[in-house]
Amino acid sequence: MDLSLDGARTQAIPACTVNGRTYSAPRRPTAVICYDGCDPAYVAAARAAGVVPHLVRMMDEGFAATALAAMPTFTNPNNVSIVCGAPPSVHGISGNYYFDAATGREIMMLDAEGMRTGTILAGLSGIGVRVAAVTAKDKLLKALAKDLDGIAFSAERADAATQEGNGIEDATRLVGRPTPAPYHPDLSLFVLDAGVKLVTEGKVDVAYLSLSDLIQHAHAPGTAEANAFMKAVDDRVGALLAAGATVGIVADHGMNDMADDAGAARVAYLADTIDAAFGAGRVRVICPITDPFVRHHGALGGFVRVHVTDPALPVADVLGTVAGTEGVGEAMTGADAAARFDLPPEREGDVVAIAAPGFALGAHRADHDLSALAGTRLRSHGGLAEQAVPFILSHPLNEAYRAKASGPLRNYDIFDFALNGVI
C-alpha cells in the first residue's frame, strides 16, 4: 500500500530485536546511567538534604520506581544484564569469578568465553544508531563493547583509547582532563562528563554510562561524602537534561552495612565452618564478588558458591551445615538457585549461600584481606538485601508502559523503558 498518496506517510522508526525484545531507535538523545551501588537509600537521603534537584525533577515529572537487580547482586552480572535486557541465564555471566571443576581453577567469567548473547548497544549500532558505551572499569569494557560499532572506552584507560579500537582517539581530549587516578571516585564523574560531551555535542544518539561504587562501599547514605557525590552526579544529570536528552537511571545493586556495633565486619567464613564440620580440603568456596579492581570490600559479599570437590561428601550434609551457620540467610542447591534467580545452572556451585541482612559471607578467614577496609565499616552487596535499586526516567511513560510498570520491574528493563516507553 502506498501511503504517500494520502499525504500522511510517516517514516517508520527503525528498531532492532535483541534477546527477544524489540528496541526502537531513540527520537531524542538517550543516556542510560548504571549508578553503581546506588541503593535507594542514597537517593532518599540526598533528596532529603536538597542536593539533587535534577534527580528530584526526574522523579516528580518523569517516572520513578524501585526495581529488582539480577541475582547475585554484583556489578558484572548486572551490567551485562542491563545491556542485554536479559537475566544471567540468557547471557551466562553470573559473577565475576567461577570455579572450573575440570582444572580446579577460579576463572574470571568475562575473560573466559564472555557473553553468550548480543547486546542492545550492538543491536542499535547495527540499525545505524550512533552508540557510546563508557565505563569506569576497564574490566567491563569488553562485555559492553561486544560487537558494538561505535564509541567504547573506560575512564581507567581513557588516554589509551584509539579510533580503531575504541571509536575515539584519546578520550581525555573529549573530557578535557587527564585519566583519573586509579581507585578514585573521579572515575565515575569522568564517565558522566564524557557522556555529557558526547550527547551535548551531538556525537551520539544513545550513551550507556556505567559508574563505579567506590563511594558507596565506603560511605553510608546521607553522609557528607555520599551526598557530595550524589550532588556531583546530579550536576551531570542536569547537563544531560538541559541538552534535551531522555535520561534513565538504574543501579546494578544496592549496598548495605555489614559491621557490628563496634565497627568490626560481621562475616560468616563458610570454608572454615565446612572444614571444621567435615575436614579440610573437601570443598571449594567461591566468592564471586572477587574483583581485582575493588579492594576495599575484601572480596566479602552477600553470595557465595560452595563446590563439593570430594565425591564422598554428600551435598545434602554440606547444605545442612551451611544453612545452619549464623550469618547465612538462605542456603539452597545450585540447581534451585539457578531456577529461582534465572542463573546459568552449569556455573552454579553445589550449594549457594545468601547472607542474612547485615552479614557478609567469605571462604577462609585467611583468604580475605580486611586491612584494605582501613578501619572503615564493611559495606558490600551480593545478596537479596541489595536487590532493590532505583529505576528513574526523565520523561513520563506512555500508556502501554504505564501498564507495564504496574508489574514487577527489573533493572535490565531500563533500555526497554527509555527507548520504547517514554512520551
Residue ranges binding Zn ion (CB under 5 A) = 36-37, 75, 213, 252
The nearest distance, CB 141 to Zn ion, in angstroms, is 15
Residue type, 252: D
The nearest distance, CB 36 to Zn ion, in angstroms, is 4
The nearest distance, CB 260 to Zn ion, in angstroms, is 24
What residues form DSSP beta bridges with 380?
A: 256
Residue 95 vs 238, nearer CB to Zn ion? 95
Q: Which residue is nearest to Zn ion (CB)?
A: 75
- The whole-angstrom separation of Cα 342 and Cα 323 is 21
- The whole-angstrom separation of Cα 51 and Cα 100 is 47
Give the list of residues 6+ apart from residue 235 with CB closer than 8 angstroms, or none: 54
Residue 133 φ/ψ, nearest 5 degrees:
-120, 120
Q: Which cell numbers in the block locate residue 161?
A: 583509547
The nearest distance, CB 115 to Zn ion, in angstroms, is 17
User: Is 281 exposed, middle or buried, given 0-12, 13-18 or 19+ CB atoms closer than 10 A?
Assistant: exposed
Residue 75 vs 394, nearer CB to Zn ion? 75
- The whole-angstrom separation of Cα 244 and Cα 149 is 24
- The whole-angstrom separation of Cα 175 and Cα 244 is 20
Residue 217 vs 266, nearer CB to Zn ion? 217
Residue 37 vs 150, nearer CB to Zn ion? 37
What distances in angstroms separate CA 79 from CA 34, 131, 237, 277, 363, one per listed residue?
7, 16, 20, 37, 25
Residue 80 vs 175, nearer CB to Zn ion? 80
Residue 177 φ/ψ, nearest 5 degrees:
-155, 160
The nearest distance, CB 119 to Zn ion, in angstroms, is 18
The nearest distance, CB 198 to Zn ion, in angstroms, is 22
Residue 62 vs 195, nearer CB to Zn ion? 195
Dihedral of CA 155/79/333/380: which sign? positive
Cell 563458610 belongs to 270
Residue 193 vs 213, nearer CB to Zn ion? 213
The nearest distance, CB 79 to Zn ion, in angstroms, is 8
